């Protein structure tokens, strides 16, 4: 039976090649090589045919025509399409550029700076921490009365794919001072305190500014930040309409964590201002957490689990 099958297949191959031009034989050989359905003997016949044309000769002794490469102009739209998709994915899930429109974050950020914002870590449950510079959507009409620009079609397209900062989105950038559970207080000209701990803000507050603003519009305050919210302030304290001056809105000046776009991690433009945006050391001081005892709560379940596992392991080792 095996011999008959081989002979029939070999004869069939011979009929296929007889009198056929070299061009039609090449695709047949290619498809046969990638197919996994032929018998071993038939595959052997095909390999022999390919070997005979390895020197550039077809079955009839004619020269094999080389495959013409695809034109660059035909590949260009494909490459552009791939680049646009990648840029859109990066902007949506990884990093987005934002432009600084005002002086409220001087001297950390200057008007016209471009910053890159990390949008990836929030997807994994990361929440804003004290001292971080964050971009967030306007919580409740904070930007009322601010001038807006009218972008052209090219600017709109480039901002949509993330190659240019968006000029249409209602976003702000400030420094996180308090997170859920914190008590933030400002008296007289300062210092600003978080949970009773004074912050040393000389490294980022605008030179000549005081940590607290002496006025009756919000510069003097004591607030308790609810869970799921943050309290933000600009580094240019006497030139920043931040949480202090929006306490009459629906969130009492707080920014919902869900409205945070991400953390600004680096100044990308202009080139002479390239720099990262680290958390100042004052936010790492001991005892700053609102409820130090709460830090042990995540450990407690682990300790209970360990206490429960030890007897089980001991019992299994004793079991014959």
Q: What is the 3-state secondary structure (H, E, C) of the chain?
A: CHHHHHHHHHHHHHHHHCCCCHHHHHHHHHHHHHCCCCCHHHHHHHHHHHHHCCCCECCCCCECCCCCCCCHHHHHHHHHHHHHHHHHHHHHHCEEEEECCCCCCCCCCCCCCEEEEECCHHHHCCCCCCCCEEEEECCCCCCCCCCCCCCCHHHHHHHHCCCCCCCCCCEEEEEEEECCCCEEEECCCCCCEECCEECCCCCCCCCCCCCCCCCCCCCCEEEECCCCEEEEECCCHHHCCCHHHHCCCCCCCCEEHHHEEEEEEEEEECHHHCEECCCCHHHHCCCCCCCHHHHHCCHHHHHHHHHHHHHHHHHHHHCC
State yes or no: is 104 an active-site residue: yes
* Residues 181, 42 share a domain: no
Say how many C-beta atoms besides its own lie within 10 A of residue 213's C-beta.
Answer: 21
User: Distance (Å, rounded) from C-alpha 23 to C-alpha 125?
Assistant: 59
Q: 260 and 143, same structural domain? A: yes
- pTM, two decimals, is 0.62
Considering the domain architecture, whether residues 140 and 266 belong to the same structural domain is answered as yes
pLDDT in tens, 92-109: 557 788 889 899 999 999
Indicate if 35 and 133 belong to the same structural domain.
no
Please determine, for residue 273, whether its predicted confidence score (pLDDT) is greater than 50.
yes
Are residues 155 and 9 both part of a single domain? Answer: no
Q: Over 90: is that where the pLDDT of 200 sits?
A: yes
Mean pLDDT of all residues in 133-150: 82
Confidence of residue 308 (pLDDT cuts 50, 70, 90): very low
Q: What is the pLDDT at residue 309?
A: 33
CA distance 151 to 164: 11
Whole-angstrom Cα distance, residue 292 to residue 251? 26
Is there a domain that residue 70 lies in?
Answer: no
Q: What is the CATH number of the domain that holds 268?
A: 2.10.109.10
Identify the domain containing residue 129 by its residue range.
Answer: 80-292
Which of 159, 166, 174, 240 does the annotation list as catalytic? 174
pLDDT at 84: 65
- Same domain for 23 and 146? no
Q: Is there a single domain that holds both residue 31 and residue 84?
A: no
pLDDT-derived band at 76 (thresholds 50, 70, 90) equals confident
Give me the pLDDT at residue 96, please.
83
Q: Is 159 exposed, middle or buried (0-12, 13-18, 19+ CB in 10 A)?
A: buried
Q: How confident is the model at residue 214 (pLDDT cuts 50, 70, 90)?
A: very high
pLDDT, averaged across the chain? 73
**Number of neighbouring beta carbons within 10 Å of residue 163:** 15
Residue 169 lies in a domain: yes
Task: Tell me whether residue 314 is in a domain.
Answer: no
Answer whether residue 160 is part of any domain: yes
Decide: 259 and 127 in contact? Cβ < 8 Å: no
User: Does 57 map to a domain?
Assistant: no
Residues 129 and 235 in one domain: yes
- Say if residue 118 is in the same domain as residue 216: yes
Co-location of 110 and 44 in the same domain: no
- DSSP lists the bridge partners of residue 221 as 186
- pLDDT at 194 exceeding the cut of 50: yes
In 3D space, the residue among 218, 217, 235, 223 whose CA is nearest the CA of residue 180 turns out to be 223
Long-range contacts from 198-206, C-beta under 8 angstroms, 24+ separation: 199/282, 199/283, 200/282, 201/280, 201/282, 203/280, 203/281, 203/282, 204/108, 204/175, 204/235, 204/280, 205/235, 205/237, 206/106, 206/107, 206/235, 206/236, 206/237, 206/238, 206/239
Q: In this structure, are 223 and 109 located in the same domain? A: yes
The residue length of the chain stands at 320
Contacts of 250 (CB under 8 A, 6+ apart): 140
CA–CA separation, 320 vs 313, rounded Å?
A: 13
Residue 305: inside a domain: no
Residue 313 lies in a domain: no
Q: Are residues 180 and 265 in the same domain?
A: yes
Tell me if 122 is assigned to some domain: yes
Tell me how many domains the chain contains.
2
């Amino acid at each position: 039976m095996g011999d008959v099958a081989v002979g029939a297949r070999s004869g069939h191959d011979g009929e296929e090649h007889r009198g056929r031009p070299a061009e039609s034989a090449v695709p047949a050989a290619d498809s046969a090589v990638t197919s996994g359905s032929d018998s071993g003997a038939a595959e052997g016949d095909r390999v022999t045919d390919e070997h005979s044309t390895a020197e550039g000769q077809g079955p009839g002794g004619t020269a094999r025509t080389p495959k013409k490469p695809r034109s660059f102009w035909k590949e260009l739209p494909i490459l552009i399409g791939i680049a646009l998709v990648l840029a859109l994915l990066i902007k949506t899930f990884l990093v987005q550029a934002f432009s600084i429109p005002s002086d409220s974050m001087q001297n950390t950020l200057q008007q016209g700076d471009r910053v890159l914002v990390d949008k990836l870590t929030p997807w994994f449950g990361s929440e804003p921490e004290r001292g971080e510079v964050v971009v967030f959507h306007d919580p409740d009409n904070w930007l009322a009365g601010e001038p807006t620009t009218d972008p052209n079609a090219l600017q709109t397209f480039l901002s949509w794919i993330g190659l240019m900062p968006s000029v249409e989105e209602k976003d702000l950038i400030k420094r996180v001072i308090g997170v859920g559970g914190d008590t933030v207080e400002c008296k007289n000209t300062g210092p600003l305190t978080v949970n009773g701990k004074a912050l040393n803000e000389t490294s980022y507050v605008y030179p000549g500014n005081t940590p607290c603003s002496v006025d009756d519009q919000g510069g003097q305050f004591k607030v308790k930040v609810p869970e799921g919210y943050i309290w933000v302030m600009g580094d240019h304290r006497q030139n920043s309409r931040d949480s202090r001056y929006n306490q009459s809105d629906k969130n009492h000046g707080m920014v919902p964590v869900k409205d945070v776009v991400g953390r600004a991690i680096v100044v990308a433009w202009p080139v002479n201002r390239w720099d990262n945006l680290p958390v100042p050391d004052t936010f790492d001081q001991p005892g700053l957490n609102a409820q130090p005892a709460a830090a042990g709560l995540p450990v407690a379940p682990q300790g209970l689990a360990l206490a429960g596992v030890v007897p089980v392991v001991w019992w299994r080792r004793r079991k014959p």
